[in-house]
Structure formats: C-alpha cells, structure tokens
Structure 1
C-alpha cells in the first residue's frame, strides 16, 4: 500500500526509577533506534518529540530538546502533547510528514522522568483541567477511577478478583522475559491478593506504577527503505487518533466525561471501541487477522475491557478469553507480550511509542523468549486524557 511507512529502527531506554532527567533517557533511546536503523543522525530529516508536562520548559518543546541533545543539524522539528496518547500523535505526525513528501527519515522520541506516587495535575489549581476537576471535585484519583471501573465490570459482566489477578500474573510472566521492563519477576494470584488494597477492589499489584523511561522509532518512506537495503520492513498501516462522538457536540459544562472509556457514542460504540474501529478501517483489516495486541493496562480490569473494545471477543466475554489462555504467551491472540504497563509502569509520552517498538520486534521475529510465533499483524491501543484516541496497526 502506498500509504504505508516503514519502521526502520526501534530503541528504548529501560524503564525504572533512575533519578536522572528525561532528556538523557530520550537521547539513549534515540541513539539506539538510529543504530538499529543503520541511519546516521545527520541523515534524519525531521525530529518529532512527544512532550512531557513534568520536564519544565524543555518538556513542552521535546522535539527541539532532543534535537539539541543529539546535535542541531538543520532537521525539521515538531513537538506534540496528547497526554497518554502523545506517542501515537508523534508517530502520526512523523507518518504525515513522510506521506506528504516533506521528509524521508523521521526520528520519533518520547521520554519521561515520572514522580513517585499518583500523578497530580500539572500547574496547580486549574479549574478547566479535567484531571483537577476529577481529583478535587469528585475526589477521584486515577486509582479510584480504576476501582470504579473494576466494580462496574464485576457488576455488569461477573468478572472476579481472581480474573483481575490473572491479568497481572500473565503480564508479569511476559515482563520477566523483557530486558527493558522495570519489573522482571513473576507473581502469583496469591501475591496479588495479598498486596495492599489501593482502591477497592483493586490491590497494589492490580495497578501500574509510575516510571522513568524512553522509546524511539526511526520511520521512513518505502522507497527510502528499499534504497537502504530493507526489502520487507515492518510497516505502519494505520494510526487512529480519533475523539469521542456525542449526540450533542456542544457541552454546557467543563467535560470530565471525555476521560471515561464507558462514554457511549450514538451508535452504541464506546470511545475505546471507536479508537480500534478507526484503526481497523484505515488498515483494511479486522480483529480476526491480528497476531498480537499491546494495550494500555493502567489496571488489570482495564486490560480486560480492551479485549472487548478491540473486538477480540464479545461484550462481557473478556474474562472467559483470559481464563482460556487465549491472551497469554502461546495463546490465540497474545496481549501485552511486552509485559505491558504492569511490568513497565507509566512513562507517559513514551508508552505509545514503546508499544510500537514491541510490535516491531515481534513482527521482525527478534523478540527473543517472548516471541509470538508467526507474528504478522499487530495493534496497539491506549487513550489520552480529554478524548485523544491512540491506536497503531503494524504489519509485515
């Protein structure tokens, strides 16, 4: 397809709590991606940075910040912010530049140095900030929100605490095989159940941590890939950055509902499902063609919701799919073969890029012990605050 762009290189800085700045992490990831691509930094036509709100002014102009750290060489530069969807927006910006003929080779970088504990709204009291409203008006921190969502699944679909725990067990087993993961230790359902309650019914091991980390990609046009000697590269076929749809597009009050995956569009499709649907439609595929999926497991219950929203199973059937082992390594449709956020934690601007890194290695067949057999098509999925969709389809 003429609309494909090639993933020439992928690189990461391992996730953890390293006590250093996001620029250092991003530079390490960028150099790793350039080395993987076999491309010299001076041959990069454009740099797209995924912004972090925790890095001061340099974080708000991440593209220029990374370009300076690598050495200014005259390339185009762009910086994008879309909360947890920032990485996908950065990929989409790079892809657009390539397809428009503005660049042959684009470096995409996202990195974060996250504070310990729950994320807080940036910049003090901000009455138009949906995070601030949710925290201060409703008293709903992110874990409280995750807990409410878990309770909803238990009430509506009959999911159990054991189901939630099994998601963590599955992802921890995958993360134990991933050298870039922060947590590389298997856990049992008993250990999940014995961990501290954070937001009933979710325990500490049901909820992802906050982390430092970085990821980078080198994208290029198909002609450049061929000239570079790469005959069958991993290709990005679709990037979905859609927003929710509402019966009434004019809202009377500051809207915190756009952060809710349960918001239902007029045709009965949830926002999360609409993200995936747009990606499938652009790629010209269906969920039955997927080899694997990398999803945004902020909590164990939220991973189960993604199974349904990605069309891997019917509504209310996610726990059944999990229990059958379909989403585990060796199953019909492995989900979070990387270990997911359960094993990495959140480094917000990097995570959607890291998902594409994982697809790249899986589709190349170079993922080592966590390799998904005969991987040919993969999808990523997450969402950003205030209605930012995020899904990427990659093929080989």
Structure 2
C-alpha cells in the first residue's frame, strides 16, 4: 500500500496581520475542495505547530479541528521548526500505512513578526542554535553570510552568482499567484539593495511571511475507490537527525573536541536528509525532474543543490549560469519561486513545497510548469537537528 496526495491547498503568502488560524483554515478548505473530500470524511488531522502564536499554536491540531468544526476526527500536533510540516505529513502517512485511517488532513500556518526570527521558547543553553544567537551574536542573516563567504572561498562563487539565484526565483515567483513577491528583478537591483550580512544583501535573504498550506493524504485504495487512477504518490518522507560528531549544526566548519577526535560521518547533515529519502524511494538524484530546496539565502540554494546530489560540490554555479536550474532548464530548482518569493511561514513551508510538487506532477502549475515532471524532491532544515526531505512521484 502507498500513500497519495489527494488534495493540496494554500492561503496566499504576505504580511496580512491576521491570526494564523485564518490562513490554515483557508488552506485546509482549499485542499479539501481539491481532493473532493468533505471535512467529516477526514479520519485524522495533524497540525504543524507555530509556537510564536500562543497556546492555539502549540495545539495546532485541535485549533484547526475546532475551526473546521468538531467532527470526532483524531488529531495530533507536532513541532520541528522548519521541518514541522514534513514531520506532520510523516505522522499522517504512518497512520494511513498502519491501516488506522483512509484519509488524513495536514495543515500548517504562521503569522510572523516583522524582521528576522529570534529564538522563542525561553532560554535553551543546551541548544547550539540558541547559543549561536547568544554567544556569537550570529543572527540568521549573519550565519547565512558566513555560509556565503565559505562558498566564495571554497568554490569561487561571486555576489553576481548569488544575485542570479534571486533573479531566477523571482522570475518563477512572478508566475505564482500564491507568492508574496510577484515582480521580476534584475541582478543590478539585487546588487544595489542594502548590505545586510556581507556578502549578502537585502534581496539575497528571504523575508518572514504570513501564510498557510495543507494537503489531504489518503491510501491508494481509497483514492482508487474515489476514481483517482493516476495519483501523486509520496514515495518517501525523510526526517533524519545529524550523525555524531557533527554536533554544531549551523556552523559545521567550527571545530569541536568531538570532531577533532572522531572521524566525521560519511555525509554532512543536509546530504543525509536527502539521501535517506532517495534510499526509501528507491531513486537517486539522477531521477529528479525538479526540486524545491531551502533557499533561506541565495547562496544556500547553491549549497543545497550540491548537498542533495543534484550536482557535484562546486558545480551548482555552473548549472545556474547555464540556465539549467531555471524554468525551462534541464533541472528546475524552486519553480514555485522558493522562499525568495514566498518568505518563511515556518509550519507551512514544508507543506507548501509538497503542494508545489503535487501541482507540478499533475501538470497543473500553469506558466511555471516543468515539462515531463515525474519525480519531485523537496528538502529543508530546521533548528535543533530537524531536517526533512519529501519525494513525490507520478
């Protein structure tokens, strides 16, 4: 038995200033309509948590179930930072595979503050990410900049390459009615935007956004009974953790006693996230038709391409320059427009990636359609050792 994506829905992303529940409810209803499933038919609902939004955010499953109308559905809530949505999908998928329900709804939504994210949930001195903020003063834009500098030193990437990533993603985002930023930009505009964390400028770094996303998952038998004969299948959901001694998650080049004494793992964390999904799906990076990767910054998109095996280390810039990763190219990356066009709405973003996989694999992505798409990969990384990869196939 396999699990299929029966429906996908989103609330447009932006800065709307309304409660997160409103965005999640709109996305859930859109996904149910897309699946042609009524809410009372859903046996299980999983809410991806948003801990910034008070108690309703901590119990997102119950929050969305109440908003949809108490129906007796079983619920769960989960938090895994930026991987929350993928973990929520994995929980729902597991319940379906166990035969405990036929159809499940997964919802994530966020209402975000102005500016970059800061640590929430109180003091966490055992969290390397919290320590990064407090001891190093390395906010998110600062460590994006460190990664960009590392890439420039190792592979010769330039600010012009980073700007080209933004140009590519903005062109795709301009074609996506759900994106927050829908205006093409030029490399000159990117390079003229204010410097934030050298070498990254304002337009190199994704924003924080309000938004919501939802998917309806079902068993293949259920889909067949509903007359769906060629559904989008969830071939793999990976939610792996790092491997010792890579204990410093966000700044892996900083030496620690453990990594001086013990050989490093065969694959760094981001590579392990994707390769676990490849192994589960019985596929490899050479099978991928298109990918949604975690472009928190323009430079990080290039790193992700290499880490997930879409090209060898140091080769991502060449694919970018050749147009291979653009719409119409050999291997489009972030055909949705990516976080460059959407911004971060943390519990929703992994689900939003799967919405894009679904629409692309159905051939319903409109002007941003990837021709002949058969295998889609979505990857992201959350704080405190959370990572996720999803492979969907047609």
Partner in structure 2 of residue 218 of structure 1: 216
Find the aligned partners of 2:98 and 2:52 in 1 and give their Cα distance.
32
Contact 1:239 1:391 (C-alpha < 8 Å) held by counterparts: yes
State the shift of 1:125 in Å.
3.7
State the shift of 1:36 in Å.
0.3
Partner in structure 1 of residue 354 of structure 2: 356
Alignment of structure 1 residues 143-222 onto 2, 5 Å: 143-222=141-220
Structure 2 gap segments, 5+ residues each: none
The match for 2:56 among 55, 58, 62 is 58
Alignment of structure 1 residues 346-385 onto 2, 5 Å: 346-385=344-383
Partner in structure 2 of residue 319 of structure 1: 317
State the shift of 1:127 in Å.
2.6
Partner in structure 1 of residue 282 of structure 2: 284
The match for 2:87 among 66, 73, 89 is 89
State the shift of 1:395 in Å.
0.2
State the shift of 1:130 in Å.
3.4
SS at match of 2:212: strand
TM-score normalised by L of structure 2: 0.96
Find the aligned partners of 1:87 and 1:318 in 2 and give their Cα distance.
27
Contact 2:243 2:265 (C-alpha < 8 Å) held by counterparts: no
State the shift of 1:259 in Å.
3.3
Partner in structure 1 of residue 109 of structure 2: 111
Partner in structure 2 of residue 295 of structure 1: 293
Find the aligned partners of 2:308 and 2:253 in 1 and give their Cα distance.
14
State the shift of 1:267 in Å.
4.0
Find the aligned partners of 1:208 and 1:97 in 2 and give their Cα distance.
34
Partner in structure 1 of residue 231 of structure 2: 233
Contact 1:261 1:272 (C-alpha < 8 Å) held by counterparts: no
Find the aligned partners of 2:253 and 2:387 in 1 and give their Cα distance.
14
Could you give the per-residue CA deviations for residues 203-231 of structure 1, whole angstroms, max 9, x where no partner exists? 00000000000000000000000001100
SS at match of 1:389: strand
Find the aligned partners of 1:262 and 1:137 in 2 and give their Cα distance.
17
Find the aligned partners of 1:266 and 1:104 in 2 and give their Cα distance.
42
Q: What is the aligned residue count?
A: 387
TM-score normalised by L of structure 1: 0.96
Deviates more, 1:258-267 or 1:20-29: 258-267
Find the aligned partners of 2:42 and 2:166 in 1 and give their Cα distance.
39
Partner in structure 1 of residue 249 of structure 2: 258
The match for 1:242 among 240, 248, 270 is 240
The match for 1:274 among 268, 272, 278 is 272
Find the aligned partners of 1:351 and 1:23 in 2 and give their Cα distance.
15
Contact 1:262 1:271 (C-alpha < 8 Å) held by counterparts: no
CA distance 1:138–1:305, shift in 2 (3 Å): same
Contact 2:327 2:368 (C-alpha < 8 Å) held by counterparts: yes
State the shift of 1:260 in Å.
4.3
SS at match of 1:69: helix
State the shift of 1:283 in Å.
0.3
Contact 1:174 1:337 (C-alpha < 8 Å) held by counterparts: yes
Find the aligned partners of 1:260 and 1:393 in 2 and give their Cα distance.
27
Partner in structure 1 of residue 135 of structure 2: 137
Find the aligned partners of 2:17 and 2:390 in 1 and give their Cα distance.
31
Structure 1 gap segments, 5+ residues each: 249-254
Query: RMSD over aligned Cα, in angstroms?
Result: 1.3
Find the aligned partners of 2:147 and 2:391 in 1 and give their Cα distance.
27
Contact 1:275 1:390 (C-alpha < 8 Å) held by counterparts: yes
